[in-house]
Amino acid sequence: MAKLGLEALVILAYLFQICIAATAQDLPLYLPREKPEWAEHLSPNLASFSIEMDTWPDWAGKKVGEPNEYFNQILRNLGERTGHMPFLRVGAISQDRATIDLQYEVMNATFPEPTPQAPNPQADHIFIGRDFYALSGNLPEGTSFMWGLNLKDLNKTETVAQAQLLAESFIGSRAHLTSKMSLEYVELGNEPDFWGPTRWGSYRGPYGPEWNTLNYTATWVDFAKAVSGVFHTGESETEKPKLSPGGFTGFMSPEWTPQGPLLAGLLDDPDIRERTSQFTEHAYSGGFDPYGNVRPGELMNKLSVRANMSAIVSRRHAVQGAGLRYVLTFSHGQPGLSNTVESALWAADWLLLGASYGIERLHFHHGIGYRYNLVQPVDSSDDGLNITRPHILPSYHAFLIVNEAIGKSGDSYVTELSTTDLNMTAYGIWETNVLVRAVVLNTQVYLGEGEKPGIEVQLIGPGAQRPCTVKRLNSDTTTSFTGM
């Protein structure tokens, strides 16, 4: 392979071998001399988790003081590469089905029967017990949290009761349990754009057309003031946690976009403005379909990854224009794609493309047994791989690669590097104006027939003659589940 330019440059992550003479495509990759003007800062929390809270004890450990050591080790492996533990959002669909019941120590969740359409259904109800939020203290030291509270019931007494128990676990009488953790954000409600009529009959929510962005904005501000009051009493005045509006699916755009609430006065109240620093949305690059016709290559396809990311550009622009961070939480759910090595390539591209668009964090959705997880934290997580112990899935490698690319300096920047071919995608990472690492993805599809294709990357550009270190992710085929 070509010699690589800059000292300390590390090339990370290919799908297949890069130097297979017979069938290798020979492709140039130009390494620019300086950091491009449009390079974006890389947050150490770029690659984040979103955990469905109906199975929270499976991730955090069943009791206070009894952590899940397997999941914690996974988090430490990731944290080692950036110097920061991964950021966890806990909540999602089940957060709006939860109510407090302090007779329980941790929780009581009841689940509907699985169906072919929903093999891993979310709980239909959760009773939140005394130690539910305090389990946060079981995670590795330095873990940051965004906790979700129930807004959908439109019952302020309940939402405030949840905020009070959460506050007790982080800043109140039980704060000693979580003293090494950071509660960064509190989210009110998940996917409120699906609570009224939608364009899809089967996804109709409980409310009528009066549930619109104007109503959402007034309701959110009203509840946010009440919750804010819980966290800021007396002299324990602290900047944390901040409030996190949004959580929109994105499917109800253009009626439901961040612009709606921003125009409707979401941030008009000075206290709320002060306490709000991000707006989140969700992005589904594909959903679960039991009869889905899987076409290997379509998930990691360079054009569709860019088309999906481009769909949110105007929304991100509005949020950032209003002085807030734009954060995405999302998933891709198709077995045969989301649990294969293809998903690792998709996730690495999606994360770094998002970062190069100025998105600070992208949270990957997780539940027990979900095909698109990075990790299954318990023995009983049946995800179709027939593994009866905690295990990783292919997209875990994407988080390792991306975190290694971000590095520990706290001052790295990313841009996408142009390539001349749709089979190759590349990113450059700069520290103090020096290109220190590059990530190159080979998205050639190989299903095991004939000779495995490859790409020979010709590095060109200023100083492309000095040695570098190469680290590779290899797999047998595009559809491999294991063996990376």
Rg over CA atoms, the chain: 23
DSSP string, 146-158: EEEE--TT--HHH
Question: Among 227-235, 246-254, 261-269, 306-314, which window interacts with ligand NAG (CB under 6 A)?
Answer: 306-314
Judged by beta carbon, residue 286 or residue 354, the one nearer ligand NAG is 286
The side-by-side arrangement of strands in the sheet containing 107-110 is 98-100, 125-128, 107-110
Question: Among 82-90, 209-217, 246-254, 409-417, which window interacts with ligand NAG (CB under 6 A)?
Answer: 209-217
Tell me if 481 contacts ligand NAG by CB under 6 A. Answer: yes
SS3 content of the chain, % helix, strand, coil (to 5): 30, 25, 50
Tell me if 422 contacts ligand NAG by CB under 6 A. Answer: yes
Select the residue interacting with ligand NAG from 46, 161, 328, 400 (CB under 6 A).
Answer: 161
The number of beta carbons lying within 10 Å of the beta carbon of residue 303 is 8
DSSP string, 77-137: HHHHHHTSPPEEEEEGGGGGGEEE-TTSSSEEEE-PPP-SS-SSPPPSEEEE-TTTGGGGG
Q: What angle do CA 83, 178, 171 make, to 5 degrees?
A: 120
Dist. CA 408–CA 414, nearest whole Å: 14
- Tokens 């302090």 locate to 102
Question: Among 11-19, 157-165, 173-181, 389-397, which window interacts with ligand NAG (CB under 6 A)?
Answer: 157-165
Question: Among 72-80, 152-160, 412-420, 464-472, which window interacts with ligand NAG (CB under 6 A)?
Answer: 152-160
Dist. CA 4–CA 422, nearest whole Å: 22
Judged by beta carbon, residue 421 or residue 431, the one nearer ligand NAG is 421
Select the residue interacting with ligand NAG from 37, 113, 115, 157 (CB under 6 A).
Answer: 157
Tell me if 47 contacts ligand NAG by CB under 6 A. Answer: no
Select the residue interacting with ligand NAG from 155, 233, 465, 469 (CB under 6 A).
Answer: 155
Tell me if 286 contacts ligand NAG by CB under 6 A. Answer: yes
252 φ, ψ (degrees, to nearest 5): -100, 25
Dist. CA 271–CA 324, nearest whole Å: 15
Least Å distance between CB 430 and ligand NAG?
28
Least Å distance between CB 283 and ligand NAG?
9
Least Å distance between CB 216 and ligand NAG?
8
Nearest to 178, CA basis, from 166, 187, 161: 166
For residues 310 to 349, the per-residue mask of contacts with ligand NAG, x marking binding by CB under 6 A and - elsewhere, is -x--------------------x-----------------
Judged by beta carbon, residue 299 or residue 414, the one nearer ligand NAG is 299
Cβ neighbours of residue 209 closer than 8 Å, sequence gap 6 or more = 196, 197
**16 near 73, Cβ under 8 Å?**
no
Least Å distance between CB 323 and ligand NAG?
27
Select the residue interacting with ligand NAG from 299, 359, 374, 459 (CB under 6 A).
Answer: 299
Tell me if 211 contacts ligand NAG by CB under 6 A. Answer: yes
Least Å distance between CB 481 and ligand NAG?
5
Least Å distance between CB 296 and ligand NAG?
12
- Tokens 């998709």 locate to 346
Binding residues for ligand NAG, how many (CB under 6 A)? Answer: 30
Least Å distance between CB 154 and ligand NAG?
6
Among positions 434-473, residues that touch ligand NAG (CB under 6 A) are 444, 453
Dist. CA 226–CA 223, nearest whole Å: 5
Question: Among 51-59, 68-76, 353-361, 382-390, which window interacts with ligand NAG (CB under 6 A)?
Answer: 382-390
Select the residue interacting with ligand NAG from 423, 456, 470, 474 (CB under 6 A).
Answer: 423
The DSSP output letter for 161 is H
Tell me if 421 contacts ligand NAG by CB under 6 A. Answer: yes
Beta strands 375-376; 391-392: pairing state: antiparallel
Nearest to 243, CA basis, from 305, 186, 310, 184: 186
Select the residue interacting with ligand NAG from 50, 213, 253, 308 (CB under 6 A).
Answer: 308
Dist. CA 327–CA 280, nearest whole Å: 5
Cβ neighbours of residue 355 closer than 8 Å, sequence gap 6 or more = 40, 42, 43, 46, 414
Dist. CA 374–CA 394, nearest whole Å: 7
Tell me if 293 contacts ligand NAG by CB under 6 A. Answer: no
Tell me if 251 contacts ligand NAG by CB under 6 A. Answer: no
Dist. CA 70–CA 80, nearest whole Å: 15
* Residue nearest to ligand NAG according to CB distances in the complex: 307
Select the residue interacting with ligand NAG from 77, 99, 182, 277 (CB under 6 A).
Answer: 99
Tell me if 17 contacts ligand NAG by CB under 6 A. Answer: no
Dist. CA 479–CA 484, nearest whole Å: 11
Least Å distance between CB 333 and ligand NAG?
10
**468 near 10, Cβ under 8 Å?**
yes
- Report the interface residues with ligand NAG, using CB under 6 A: 99, 108, 110, 155, 157-158, 161, 207-208, 210-211, 215, 285-286, 298-299, 304, 307-308, 311, 332, 384-386, 421-423, 444, 453, 481
